[in-house]
Structure 1
Amino acid sequence: MASPIPQGPTGYKLSLQTVAICTFPSMAGVLFGYDSGWIAGVLAMDAFKLDFGNPNSTEKDAYRGYLYTSTAKALTTSILSAGTFCGALAAGYVSDRIGRRSTIILGCIIYTIGVVLEVITHGSIDLLAVGRTIAGLGVGFVSATTIMYVSEITPKEIRGSIMGAYQLAITIGLLLAAVVNIGAKHLLNTGAYRIPIGIQFAWALVLGIGMSFMPESPRWYVMKKKGENAALALAQIHGRDPDSELIDDEYKLIADSYEEELAAGAADSSFVDCFKGGLKRGSNLHRTMIGTSIQMFQQLTGVNFIFYYGTTFFQRAGISNPFVVSIITAAVNVVSTPIALWGIERLGRRKLLIFGAIGMAICEFIVAIVGTALPNSTTAQDVLITFVSLFIFCFASTWGPCAWTVCGEIYPQRTRSQSTALSTASNWFWNFIISFVTPYLVDEDKANLGPKIFFIFGAAAVGCGVWAYFVVYETSKLSLEQVDRMMNETSARRSTGWEGRDGFARKRRVDSDVEGGEKGGVRRWWSKKGRREEGGGRRELEQIGTSSSETHQPS
């Protein structure tokens, strides 16, 4: 039988302050979504084709004979993901050194530098690509660290929904980009593309300034042996007094878990540690494979083909209002995502991922079959619009939020920053592959697959469902420390019925009562009373992991 698991406090009502603090960092998704979305519309703008295209093009979507090459389109779109891949990998190291909050702010600064280069460019694909690379580096810092930060500060009761809010913010960013694009597309001067690009400054400014008022992650403070700061951060998050029993329980849960990891020899983790343990259940390698592969499958569904190249793809398919269709798909994305935020805790991660994959596969195969059987027909166009929208619905209500949620929950504290960086980097690596390769697959002067490309994406969606059934653990309503224990004790298919879910173990409090000799557990050494009993304000005990007997003094 599984041993009892230390639990965080339950049964208390979450305050509005707690929800607001945990939700705000997810606004980073707007930055990511908008940056991914504006390029789709700008590539279809006549002004952009004139300024950045080559003359004498005979393709039907050229403007006055001007059109950029498939290579220029692929480079301009995908280079953002290359920068983000590097930023995500670096974020693990940086966030462990300077903190989660500071890393997000640094990412906003780097992103702003990239946007400046994007705005000033005129006719130079090379300079635009450099700007998108630097902006991508900033997005990588922000995206990888936000997932880690939100997972560390959010109570388990709402963690799934709050993590899903990051994906909702991404969809809002995509919708905003589509709206701005349709408003600027008729301009025949540089404002057509500079306006959509320049608006990016607003998202970086709001996020960067807002994060300066947020608390640092309590778990990061514990890692840095700053126990009093960890308690104060918990108090700010929960809106409680630092001396309250709730803060005491939360702090001890985090500190005890970290002490166990230190005792197991995890003092100085690196990326190498993410690949240790072999393929046995619950090993670091096992978890790394889950996190990186879920991000890979999310991208292989083809969703970002729609958001990166949807406008130009609809244009080539003969649809008369491709910008309007792009707004429709972006709007479907936004209104569908809250369904996942509702279902992610009630239905669980596994069910959403499995049934979402089935729905996506059906939609994509229908688009591919009809588009191949009835090319250039009105029926094919109607089917394309309808079932692409249904595909977006299936993705946004399942795989969109769930993939990010799972990646924020499955890693142990000792390698969380490195592992989260790897999973986020995996997302951006496959994002880069899809965005770079697909123009060569669908463009008329290349492979010219057209709607046949959805056969590839549909097959990948089938793989998503099979993979989720055998690999993904059900982590709903569990603390991060519980998830850590569960993954060592059972398989993914049996995780829904894991016995550690029942009864919410009370061992930690019982042990605390015995150790502390009083109800309420270990004396809170950061409180006034604790410091007075420890010798009238002498040094604070910030030696977590070096001597648990020093950290947990008996009364």
Structure 2
Amino acid sequence: MAVLFYAQGVPIGYMAIALAVLASMGGFIFGYDTGQISDILIMDDFLLRFAECKTPGDASTCAFSIVREGLVVGLLSIGTLVGALLGAPTADYLGRRHAMSVECLVFAIGVVVQITSEHEWAQFAVGRLVSGLGIGSLSAAVPMYQAETAPSQIRGTLTATYQLFITFGILVAYCISIGARDISGSGSWRTVVGISFVWPTILGVGILFMPESPRWLTKQGRIDEARLSLAASRGLPAAEAENHFVINRELEEMREAVEYERKVAAGWLDCFSFERKQLYRTCLLSALQMFQQLTGANYFFYYGATVFQSVGISDSYITQIILGAVNFGCTFGGLYVMERFGRRLPLIIGGIWNSCWLFVFAAAGTAQNPQDNPGIGKLMIVSACLFILGYAMTWAPGVWILVGETFPTRTRAKQAALATASNWLWNFLLAFFTPFIVKAIHFRYGFVFAACNLTGAVVVYFFLYESSDLSLESVDMMYGDPYCKPWTSRTWAPAGFTSRADLVEQSRAAEAHKPLAGGREEARIEKV
């Protein structure tokens, strides 16, 4: 054990980074599966096997019907929707780590079903459905595990690595696809799908060597293990854990929260109670997950190859890689933005930025036919890249961070599952209905997404509380404070502190064992 660095005056260990990065392989799995289907849909052998062909053996005459294409792409999201709801009880029953291992196995079974498909498109679609069960469960378990194990001082950055790995997975899928497209026969698409076995193996096995969530351990009454888990994330030796004030403070907060939960039974109905704004929080995060889908990002990720073919790009694979690289690279900026500027401001500005560039994309494609005007086609690609830049730095990581840190411990798994299920429901609706909508309104579809981005920014301003720099228990206190409003929440702090900035300063002073103003060090530390 060793301290890697200090954040706001408190120690952060190597293990905190390692467990967040490894758990984020769950996001990589999702991203890879999202990115691969766009390119697979236009591979010659895949078209010959599963599409409808006017001339047998001639891939140029093959095309998917709108319904078939929507189901091949969208059934993954139906699986993820169900998986997200199953992820909560699974994570609570097995623990966060073992649940992730089981979910990786489910995903791998779906991959087997896909690569053994010969000529039945329905089998391939069902394989994506099964893989979706694993991905959906992971999407509920991973952000929850990261939020519960990460030190609050860098929780935003560590939780955002889930989204970073989603973008990395998308980019890797694009790169592998361009390398595999010239493989003869079914090797082209089977190589892309078959490599998927690597990612769940890394996560499913590796996560067993990471510490379990200290909050889950506390809930199980395994206090000594919870203390060691906290010490690992702080980079402190086990011998120091019992007497270190940071560990004792955090452990006491968890024990108090668990005691409260035991007095109040927590079922699914508790996610919709009015107590401490439970219904409010469930609806808010479900709405934010919906708006993350309605930003329009997956319009480009699922159907990007087809979209760029329609604007006259000769090699849409290359354009996909450019888009994926922008998405991945800018997500690093998102880690900084969400940690430096909190949650509310980036989401509001991001919604406005995204809306502007989607409006440009739609207006350009509507004004002239991009296939007849290369300049218009280039403008649309640039505007798509600038949209992805804004999305990757704000809405992409921000919503997943909020899922992990907005809910109280006793219902976190269930509420996270409901919010994530909203994401997958809208993911499916967009994946399935996009071909129908594009056929009817073409590039004017971008105007719809532009309006949704603006609406999402308005929702954030009026309803989302600022949760950065607070412990998960303090976030729960903030939502339960009737005097705190979303637009004033940036300065809210627990009792004993004058503001959020005061809380940060007192934490630094406490770590350095400096005397606090008014001699209230002991009292304030106990209340953080």
Q: Same fold (TM over 0.5)?
A: yes
What's the CA shift for 1:253?
Answer: 1.7
Equivalent AA in structure 2 for residue 160 of structure 1: G
What's the CA shift for 1:57?
Answer: 7.8
Taking the aligned partners of 2:235 and 2:19, their CA distance within structure 1 comes to 10
2:266 — aligned with what? 269
2:229 — aligned with what? 233
Equivalent AA in structure 2 for residue 485 of structure 1: M
2:518 — aligned with what? none
Q: 1:97 aligns with which of 93, 99, 114?
A: 93
The answer to whether the Cα contact below 8 Å between 1:47 and 1:187 also exists between their aligned partners in 2 is no
Q: 1:440 aligns with which of 412, 420, 436?
A: 436
1:531 — aligned with what? none
Moved over 6 A (4+): none
Equivalent AA in structure 1 for residue 242 of structure 2: D
Whether 1:363 and 2:357 are equivalent positions in the alignment is yes
What's the CA shift for 1:336?
Answer: 0.4
Taking the aligned partners of 1:134 and 1:339, their CA distance within structure 2 comes to 34
The answer to whether the Cα contact below 8 Å between 1:336 and 1:396 also exists between their aligned partners in 2 is yes
Whether 1:33 and 2:31 are equivalent positions in the alignment is yes
Equivalent AA in structure 1 for residue 316 of structure 2: P
Q: 2:17 aligns with which of 16, 19, 30?
A: 19
Taking the aligned partners of 1:303 and 1:18, their CA distance within structure 2 comes to 30
Taking the aligned partners of 2:247 and 2:37, their CA distance within structure 1 comes to 46
1:220 — aligned with what? 216
Taking the aligned partners of 1:317 and 1:82, their CA distance within structure 2 comes to 30
The answer to whether the Cα contact below 8 Å between 1:52 and 1:67 also exists between their aligned partners in 2 is no
Whether 1:404 and 2:383 are equivalent positions in the alignment is no
What's the CA shift for 1:520?
Answer: 9.6
Q: What does the per-residue CA deviation read over 1:378-401, in whole Å, with 9 as the maximum and x for residues that have no partner?
A: 122111110000000010011000
Taking the aligned partners of 1:421 and 1:332, their CA distance within structure 2 comes to 29
1:123 — aligned with what? 119
Q: What does the per-residue CA deviation read over 1:170-199, in whole Å, with 9 as the maximum and x for residues that have no partner?
A: 000000000011111223410110011001
Aligned-partner SS, 2:289 = helix
Q: What does the per-residue CA deviation read over 1:356-383, in whole Å, with 9 as the maximum and x for residues that have no partner?
A: 0111000011111111111132122111
Q: How many residues align?
A: 490
Taking the aligned partners of 2:158 and 2:227, their CA distance within structure 1 comes to 22
1:66 — aligned with what? 62
Aligned-partner SS, 2:306 = helix
The answer to whether the Cα contact below 8 Å between 1:99 and 1:216 also exists between their aligned partners in 2 is yes
Taking the aligned partners of 1:261 and 1:235, their CA distance within structure 2 comes to 24
2:526 — aligned with what? none
1:254 — aligned with what? 254
Identity of aligned residues (%): 37
What's the CA shift for 1:257?
Answer: 2.2
Q: 2:296 aligns with which of 283, 302, 307?
A: 302
Alignment of 1:536-555 (within 5 A): none
Aligned-partner SS, 1:477 = coil
1:535 — aligned with what? none
Whether 1:184 and 2:176 are equivalent positions in the alignment is no
What's the CA shift for 1:441?
Answer: 1.3
Taking the aligned partners of 2:475 and 2:399, their CA distance within structure 1 comes to 16
TM-score scaled by structure 1? Answer: 0.85
Taking the aligned partners of 2:414 and 2:81, their CA distance within structure 1 comes to 13
Aligned-partner SS, 1:64 = helix
TM-score scaled by structure 2? Answer: 0.89
What's the CA shift for 1:499?
Answer: 4.3
The answer to whether the Cα contact below 8 Å between 2:174 and 2:317 also exists between their aligned partners in 1 is yes
**Which structure would you say has the larger Rg?**
1
Taking the aligned partners of 1:124 and 1:520, their CA distance within structure 2 comes to 68
Whether 1:166 and 2:162 are equivalent positions in the alignment is yes
Equivalent AA in structure 1 for residue 308 of structure 2: F
Aligned-partner SS, 2:405 = coil
What's the CA shift for 1:64?
Answer: 3.3
Pick the structure with more helix per residue: 2
Q: What does the per-residue CA deviation read over 1:443-471, in whole Å, with 9 as the maximum and x for residues that have no partner?
A: 4xxx2x22111011111111111111111
What's the CA shift for 1:107?
Answer: 0.5
Taking the aligned partners of 1:75 and 1:22, their CA distance within structure 2 comes to 33
Taking the aligned partners of 1:229 and 1:468, their CA distance within structure 2 comes to 38
Taking the aligned partners of 1:57 and 1:29, their CA distance within structure 2 comes to 40
CA 1:57–1:286: 2 relative to 1, 3 Å: farther
Taking the aligned partners of 2:426 and 2:126, their CA distance within structure 1 comes to 20
Q: 2:328 aligns with which of 330, 334, 340?
A: 334
Taking the aligned partners of 1:277 and 1:195, their CA distance within structure 2 comes to 51
The answer to whether the Cα contact below 8 Å between 1:46 and 1:188 also exists between their aligned partners in 2 is no
What's the CA shift for 1:317?
Answer: 2.5
Taking the aligned partners of 2:235 and 2:365, their CA distance within structure 1 comes to 55
What's the CA shift for 1:221?
Answer: 1.3
The answer to whether the Cα contact below 8 Å between 1:82 and 1:432 also exists between their aligned partners in 2 is yes
Report which stretch shifted further, 69-78 or 21-30.
21-30
Q: Which segments of 5 or more consecutive residues in structure 1 lack a partner in the other structure?
A: 1-8, 510-518, 522-555
Whether 1:111 and 2:107 are equivalent positions in the alignment is yes
What's the CA shift for 1:28?
Answer: 1.5
Q: What does the per-residue CA deviation read over 1:298-342, in whole Å, with 9 as the maximum and x for residues that have no partner?
A: 001110010000101211222111110000000000110111111
What's the CA shift for 1:231?
Answer: 1.8
Taking the aligned partners of 1:107 and 1:161, their CA distance within structure 2 comes to 24
Aligned-partner SS, 1:194 = helix
CA 1:236–1:497: 2 relative to 1, 3 Å: closer
What's the CA shift for 1:10?
Answer: 6.1
Q: 1:472 aligns with which of 464, 470, 486?
A: 464
Report which stretch shifted further, 244-253 or 209-218.
244-253
Whether 1:353 and 2:347 are equivalent positions in the alignment is yes
Taking the aligned partners of 1:314 and 1:52, their CA distance within structure 2 comes to 22
Equivalent AA in structure 2 for residue 117 of structure 1: V
Aligned-residue Cα RMSD (Å) equals 2.1
What's the CA shift for 1:237?
Answer: 2.7
Equivalent AA in structure 1 for residue 450 of structure 2: G
The answer to whether the Cα contact below 8 Å between 1:359 and 1:391 also exists between their aligned partners in 2 is yes
Q: 1:86 aligns with which of 58, 82, 89?
A: 82
The answer to whether the Cα contact below 8 Å between 1:475 and 1:483 also exists between their aligned partners in 2 is yes
1:321 — aligned with what? 315
What's the CA shift for 1:66?
Answer: 1.6
Q: 1:54 aligns with which of 52, 55, 60?
A: 52
Q: 2:391 aligns with which of 387, 395, 406?
A: 395
